[in-house]
Structure 1
């Protein structure tokens, strides 16, 4: 027995309407991050180094803070000062939220970058920055942990050498989980957007 045309249209409408919630469930929301999402691809933040006050610190000392890990050195002629100036501008735009952030500047030149030298250098850029140094083996182990690289370039004088190094900015949430990777080429807008998300209530949920 065939249904009248109006009845068939009504049945079809009901079937289409019933399928909409299922279709909506199957669609996944795009990731909120504007920077590269490295969740699950990098290990948790872990280290034991000396800070720019001469104190031995570990990653646990920065739990509760969103941390930005960067490998550089104080004699760097260009990328390091530009990156720290870039991050300082980001901290200013975050306002009070910046109190929940620490910039960890790990020296790849421990022979020259003493705690005192690091302190004067990083604090000249931003009050949320902490200089970290350690033995060459400790620095090398930490850089390998996050697939960063650095190489000492020979100079004419023993004190005049430069160090080629990776320029990635590794961003960890307040639990020490690796979440994002930025580069000095990423805009302030992207960094501010993602850090605000991470600093918001529930923003650091895995």
Structure 2
């Protein structure tokens, strides 16, 4: 599963490399991560949160958003990523109150709001689980040039979902700013979030 996730991440980075027109992997200052400002669409969605409420991107305006696509039955990369983001939030201290982790399920059949709520809150209180119908999720994933695919079910009916593992970071106005992957250091993500949370726009 982990190797498939890394392959999805590699494909995502390749696509972004083409999109950015040959920009270097290391973003110019002030950001340390891949700067996607102006190269990806703004944060936009209509989904159901882990409290069963209909929410949209507008509900998170004023917060720096860390968007991640995953699922609760994920055996490795999802729990590792959420644990990583929890440590990042801890390192931000009070600034973390201005950020939200949005965990969008790519397995809406199994990831009901109660399941998502229990899962994301086991990692961080500032994490919100989001779900929707399969077509809505697929459209949202494609909007951010991500990808996922459901693997064949085993004899007991269980299955895994291969998915990309990038973290998309949006500023308080819902504009895309940086992209973080498992290859990036925690220090770089903390640095860039300090910029976004401290200055408001990272500029």
TM-score using structure 1 length: 0.83
Output the CA distance in 2 between the equivalents of 1:79 and 1:170.
16
Alignment of 1:131-150 (within 5 A): 131-150=129-148
Output the CA distance in 1 between the equivalents of 2:180 and 2:71.
18
TM-score using structure 2 length: 0.84
Q: Could you say what secondary structure the match of 1:156 adopts?
A: coil
Q: Could you say what secondary structure the match of 1:68 adopts?
A: strand
Q: Deviations over 1:34-59 (max 9, x none)?
A: 10000111000000000000000000
Once the 2 structures are TM-superposed, how far is the Cα of residue 117 of structure 1 from its aligned partner? 0.1
Any runs of at least 4 consecutive aligned residues in structure 1 with deviations exceeding 2 A, and if so which? Answer: none
Output the CA distance in 2 between the equivalents of 1:157 and 1:100.
45
Q: Deviations over 1:56-101 (max 9, x none)?
A: 0000000000000000000000000000000000000000000000
Output the CA distance in 2 between the equivalents of 1:187 and 1:42.
22
Is residue 189 of structure 2 the alignment partner of residue 191 of structure 1? yes
Alignment of 1:21-100 (within 5 A): 30-100=28-98
CA RMSD, Structure 1 to Structure 2 (Å): 1.1
Higher relative contact order (CA 8 A, sep 6+): 2
Q: Could you say what secondary structure the match of 2:150 adopts?
A: strand
Unaligned runs of 5+ in 1: 1-29
Once the 2 structures are TM-superposed, how far is the Cα of residue 157 of structure 1 from its aligned partner? 3.6
Unaligned runs of 5+ in 2: 1-27
Alignment of 1:100-115 (within 5 A): 100-115=98-113
Is residue 198 of structure 2 the alignment partner of residue 204 of structure 1? no
Output the CA distance in 1 between the equivalents of 2:181 and 2:97.
22
Output the CA distance in 2 between the equivalents of 1:159 and 1:200.
47
Alignment of 1:113-132 (within 5 A): 113-132=111-130
8 Å Cα contact 1:86/1:184 also seen in 2: no
